């Protein structure tokens, strides 16, 4: 497979990017294409390992190890090395409906479990995936594939994020008539409004795939919230099956003194307004321009707030992270093939460091109070450092360290502390059972809820997670929905 000595001959080479200070003046994607010869060399590094872990898609220590959609990574690495790009695209599409999304926004747990990564930098799997799908689009190999026949069954999908789109694609492929309901003004869910444009271009990339799905027969109905614009009862009466893919959109709040002040927003509110403004060629109603910005929380959402605030032209930026700073190398309790919990700077932190001189993250620090002026506008954030210690139950909890208090100037505060689960009104209207974390109760692998004909997939079932897990669940829920409708299924 590939070049037997490739992993010895070629070093890992990441794709080039525009310099941070050059790319922060617009909302365009900033990754640069890699020449084919160098891509083939990178594919040659795939080392024909006896047991490839890259496509296992298992959970270890609560985090993904390997690809959750079981991409046939060694196979398409070999095909790219041999210059068989169209065959590589066919292999990629066998497991992944949207490689152009995962090739841009997935954190690549496949690379974290690459066998080569035990002793050397892993194969650049994510960039190779990205290159395969973009070559497919550029060469015109990706065309609408309509089902050979229609079953006459009608399926409603609620939510048009990655789980909803993958379920729609698969159920349409099985021949059902699929309608996707989206409460926003554009389809795409998280892909449209939750991820900034410079990370995932909406008009060039997201709409390209949405238009293809429409050509294949999927119907999108926007500005329609189930339970408000269309009743849950009407949905059940008008469709043979329903797949809920509403996401986990209830944000975690920070109920500390001063929370009611103006200028404090949930991260997703900030990001949604910004992307809508970019698409509508307008100014965002929530702007970081000229302001001292404090972002509370890390993760991808926090990083996106960093990159967006810098493009607005913020005056200063601090990102509070309650967890300790990760080590530069794997810790002893974080062995391969677990996801490597190591220090890394994502695109937003790179841009902040280039503009302000340092990584904006401040670790083991939390906010204790918001301060405002006479007009009710936030002006400062009071912080304190914490130490993680065990309580009487043996649980690690953060303890405030006296004498470490600071006051940070802030006219804009963004809360990026994750999500608590799906919003509940629709679930209440349907009378669905929930699990202990308020998610829809539906067994993984079966996806059937407590209500006949209703299935659930993605973050509304599993809680906040990765785009690639949402695609996995959307595909699998489609399979089980098809089995429910037809008695058997050929969907993978």
pLDDT (tens digit, 9 = 90+) per residue, 74-102?
A: 999 999 999 999 999 999 999 999 999 99
State the average pLDDT over residues 197-206.
98
The phi-psi region of residue 223 (left if phi > 0; otherwise alpha if psi is between -120 and 50; otherwise beta) is: left
pLDDT higher than threshold 70 for residue 1: no
Strand partners, 385: 365
- For residue 400, give every residue at least 6 positions away whose Cβ sits within 8 Å of its Cβ, in sequence order, or none: 366, 368, 384, 385, 386
Asked if residue 266 lies in contact with residue 249, where contact means CB atoms within 8 angstroms, the answer is no
pLDDT higher than threshold 80 for residue 2: no
pLDDT higher than threshold 70 for residue 309: yes
Parallel, antiparallel or unpaired: strands 454-456 and 241-244: parallel
Chain segment 253-271, per-residue pLDDT in tens: 999 999 999 999 999 999 9
Strand partners, 400: 386
Which DSSP category does 193 fall into?
Answer: I
Chain segment 157-183, per-residue pLDDT in tens: 999 999 999 999 999 999 999 999 999
**pLDDT reported for residue 180:** 98
Judged on CB neighbours under 10 Å (0-12, 13-18, 19+), 392 is exposed
**pLDDT reported for residue 393:** 86
Judged on CB neighbours under 10 Å (0-12, 13-18, 19+), 341 is middle
**pLDDT reported for residue 355:** 98
**pLDDT reported for residue 458:** 98
Chain segment 211-256, per-residue pLDDT in tens: 999 999 999 999 999 999 999 999 999 999 999 999 999 999 999 9
Query: In whole angstroms, what is the distance from residue 208 CA to residue 203 CA?
Result: 7
Query: In whole angstroms, what is the distance from residue 327 CA to residue 325 CA?
Result: 7
* Helix 162-173 × helix 467-486 angle, to 10°: 30
Give the domains, in start order, of the chain with CATH numbers: 6-139 (1.10.1060.10), 154-249+420-486 (3.50.50.60), 253-417 (3.50.50.60)
């Amino acid at each position: 497979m590939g070049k037997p000595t490739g992993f010895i001959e070629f070093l890992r080479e990441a794709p080039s990017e525009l310099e941070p200070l050059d790319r922060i003046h617009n909302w365009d994607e900033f990754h640069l294409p890699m020449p084919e010869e160098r891509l083939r060399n990178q594919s040659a590094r795939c080392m024909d390992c006896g047991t490839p872990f890259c496509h296992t898609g298992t959970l270890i220590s609560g985090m993904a190890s390997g690809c959750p959609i079981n991409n046939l990574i060694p196979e398409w690495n070999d095909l790219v090395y041999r210059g068989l790009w169209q065959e590589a695209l066919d292999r990629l599409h066998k497991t992944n409906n949207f490689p152009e999304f995962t090739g841009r926004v997935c954190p690549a747990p496949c690379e974290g479990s690459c066998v080569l990564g035990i002793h050397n930098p892993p194969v650049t799997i994510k960039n190779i995936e990205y290159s395969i799908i973009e070559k497919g689009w550029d060469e015109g190999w990706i065309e609408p594939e309509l089902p050979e026949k229609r079953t006459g069954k009608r399926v409603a999908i609620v939510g048009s994020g990655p789980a909803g789109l993958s379920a729609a694609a698969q159920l349409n492929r099985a021949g059902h008539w699929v309608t996707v309901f989206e409460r926003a003004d554009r389809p795409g869910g998280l892909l449209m409004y939750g991820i900034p444009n410079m990370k995932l271009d909406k008009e060039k990339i997201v709409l390209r795939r949405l238009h293809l799905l429409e050509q294949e027969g999927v119907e999108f109905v926007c500005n329609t919230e189930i339970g408000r614009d269309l009743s849950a009862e009407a949905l059940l009466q008008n469709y043979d099956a329903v797949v809920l893919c509403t996401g986990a959109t209830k944000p975690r709040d920070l109920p500390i003194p001063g929370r009611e002040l103006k200028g404090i927003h949930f991260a997703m509110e900030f990001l949604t307004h910004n992307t809508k403004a970019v698409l509508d060629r307008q100014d965002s109603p929530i702007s970081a321009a000229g302001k001292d910005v404090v972002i509370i929380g890390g993760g991808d959402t926090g990083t996106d707030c960093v990159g967006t605030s810098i493009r607005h032209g913020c005056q200063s930026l601090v990102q509070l992270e309650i967890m300790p700073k990760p080590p530069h190398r794997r810790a002893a309790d974080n062995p391969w093939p677990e996801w490597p919990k190591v220090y890394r700077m994502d695109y937003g932190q790179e841009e902040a460091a280039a503009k302000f001189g340092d990584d904006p993250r401040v670790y083991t620090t939390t906010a204790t109070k918001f301060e405002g002026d006479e007009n009710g506008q936030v002006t400062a954030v009071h912080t304190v450092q914490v130490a993680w210690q065990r309580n009487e139950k043996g649980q690690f909890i953060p303890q405030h360290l006296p004498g470490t208090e600071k006051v940070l100037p802030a006219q804009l505060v963004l809360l990026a502390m994750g999500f608590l689960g799906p919003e509940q009104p629709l679930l209440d209207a349907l009378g669905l059972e929930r699990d202990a974390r308020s998610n829809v109760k539906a067994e993984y692998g079966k996806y059937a809820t407590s209500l006949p004909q209703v299935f659930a997939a993605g973050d509304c079932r599993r809680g906040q997670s990765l785009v690639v897990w949402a695609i996995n669940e959307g595909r699998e829920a489609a399979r089980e929905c098809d089995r429910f409708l037809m008695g058997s299924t050929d969907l993978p």
